[in-house]
Structure 1
Amino acid sequence: MTAQPPGTETEHLTADAAGLDRAAALLAAGGLVAIPTETVYGLAVDARDDEAVARLYHAKGRPTFNPLIVHVADTEQASALVAMPPEAVRLAQDFWPGALTLVLPIRPDSGISPLVTAGLATLGVRVPAHPVARDLLRRTGPLAAPSANPSGQVSPTRASHVLEGLSGRIAAVVDGGASTVGVESTIVGVLPDPVLLRAGGIPSEALEACLGMGLFVGGEAGQPISPGQLASHYAPKGAVRLNAAAAEPGETMLGFGDVPGDLTLSASGDLVEAAANLFARLHELNRMGAERIAVAPVPETGLGRAINDRLRRAAAPR
């Protein structure tokens, strides 16, 4: 199986009506199209097309036991795919559209390819906030869309990042500018009690305030029940050392706040800025040829939890 015919050139589409019409046509034909979202760029396929989903796994080199998130235009589209208990409805009302994925029981008549769920009885769904993504979803219906990068490597926050990793392997990329959030969505399972499965673009404190309860953290053992649970993930080419006060000889320093570096996530210590910059900085380190990377400490609060989660997985043994 090949993701695209050999020698295929990846189309670079503009985020206007003509570009989105072309993207929708490619998706309807089973093509793989990278699309902008506010978190990171996603590699989209028709979530109901078994062959297209299989090509997506192949293009990314992603293990098929790792389930995919399905993006939808609104809560009505989501409700046709999954059962939504009261806690899920409350979270959707407060945080959709936005950087929240809900893992919920899949409806038997959803029509979603079983490859999307990795054979599980649950499905992760999200309504993205990016206007380009939602405009496309209104044209196409549900799209399975993991991050648009080779599996385990740095997630893309610009169209150029997508092309660095997947040019010639996918049909097109829709250029919607830089992602504003910069880290993937927060994932909460409601099965039936709410469980935090992945830290992400919405701080857990905000979710807990909405629910009026603390969130149990789970889902790390055994088969993943949502994306982002593999130990080694989001990795740059160089080895990563965390919580470094300064660089050692031969290391390239990624700073934060008062700890300076060759590059910095945020010189002012702003976690929102750091999240938006995280994957772009890791791509820059790749382009610099950094073989050993030291990363300054980042506070384990708010968006810092999501940043540290990605950094720990980037530093994990490969």
Structure 2
Amino acid sequence: MNKILKASSTAVTEAIASLKQGGVVMLPTDTVYGLAVHPGFPEAVDRLYAMKDRPRSMNLPIMVANVTDMETLGVDINAPTHRLLNSEYVPGALTVAIGFTDKPKVDWLTGRDEVAIRIPDDEHLLAILRATGPLLVTSANASGEDTPTEVAAILEQLHLAPDVAIDGGTIPTIPSTLVNCRMNPPVIEREGVIPATDLAPYLK
């Protein structure tokens, strides 16, 4: 561990610098604490998997700052996805699983048929994403364990230490709601912060 920083503009600057140099950053999101890496650094991605002891067969979710950044990944923003992205829940605790268009993928998405992607509703995190571009971000916990609510407990649980940790205080452990938009009609695969009943009008 190099640094533990209180959530602030200084911490955002430090996180951006670390991510752009291939670091692993632990940070608060609008749902749970997360671990973030820049996808352009394969060794950083390897460290993140080792940190969580996460099977490589489990792909990492993606966070972006806006829909434009999402489109650069070559994803297929179909009609249900479009409705959800234009809903009151984006930015926010809504993750969509979507496929790809026929256009070539970016190198780090080679071999993937779909991605789970989210635009978070957290100004510090959005500032980081605007500076770095899309990031791989997963919950800050050892694989198969619950995500702790505080930084100290997370660091005790992880198998390796991140390069930078941003302490945003106590954060609840309710994940985002995940909707698979490759299905017709879309299917809620995980009910989290946003209740399924609230999303029903967008999934018809």
- The one-character-per-residue Cα deviations of 1:204-248 (angstroms, maximum 9, x if unpaired) are 11111233x3xxxxxxxxxxxxxxxxxxxxxxxxxxxxxxxxxxx
- The one-character-per-residue Cα deviations of 1:117-142 (angstroms, maximum 9, x if unpaired) are 8x431111100112221111111111
Q: Which amino acid aligns with 1:46?
A: H
Contact 1:102 1:125 in 2 (8 A): yes
* Structure 1 equivalent of residue 29 of structure 2: 37
- CA change 1:55–1:37 in 2 (3 A) is same
* Structure 1 equivalent of residue 106 of structure 2: 111
* Structure 2 equivalent of residue 90 of structure 1: 83
* Structure 1 equivalent of residue 44 of structure 2: 52
Deviation, structure 1 residue 67: 1.4
Q: Which amino acid aligns with 2:68?
A: E
- CA change 1:106–1:53 in 2 (3 A) is farther
Query: Aligned pairs, how many?
Result: 200
Q: Which amino acid aligns with 1:186?
A: T
- The one-character-per-residue Cα deviations of 1:58-89 (angstroms, maximum 9, x if unpaired) are 11100011111101111221122212011101
Match of 2:116, SS? Answer: strand
- CA change 1:112–1:162 in 2 (3 A) is farther
Give TM-score scaled by structure 2 length: 0.89
* Structure 2 equivalent of residue 100 of structure 1: 94
* Structure 2 equivalent of residue 307 of structure 1: none
Runs of 5+ unmatched residues, structure 2: none
Deviation, structure 1 residue 112: 5.6
- Distance in 2, matches of 1:178 and 1:134, equals 20
Give TM-score scaled by structure 1 length: 0.59
Say if 2:190 is the partner of 1:198. yes
RMSD of aligned alpha carbons: 2.0
Deviation, structure 1 residue 109: 4.1
Contact 2:51 2:159 in 1 (8 A): no
| Identity in percent | 36
Contact 1:47 1:70 in 2 (8 A): no
Counterpart mapping for 1:20-35 below 5 A:
20-35=12-27
Greater relative contact order (CA < 8 Å, ≥ 6 in sequence): 2
Given candidates 71, 79, 102, the residue that maps to 2:71 is: 79
- CA change 1:109–1:179 in 2 (3 A) is farther
- CA change 1:42–1:162 in 2 (3 A) is same
- Distance in 1, matches of 2:79 and 2:192, equals 22
Runs of 5+ unmatched residues, structure 1: 1-8, 214-318
Name whichever of 143-152 and 154-163 sits farther off: 154-163
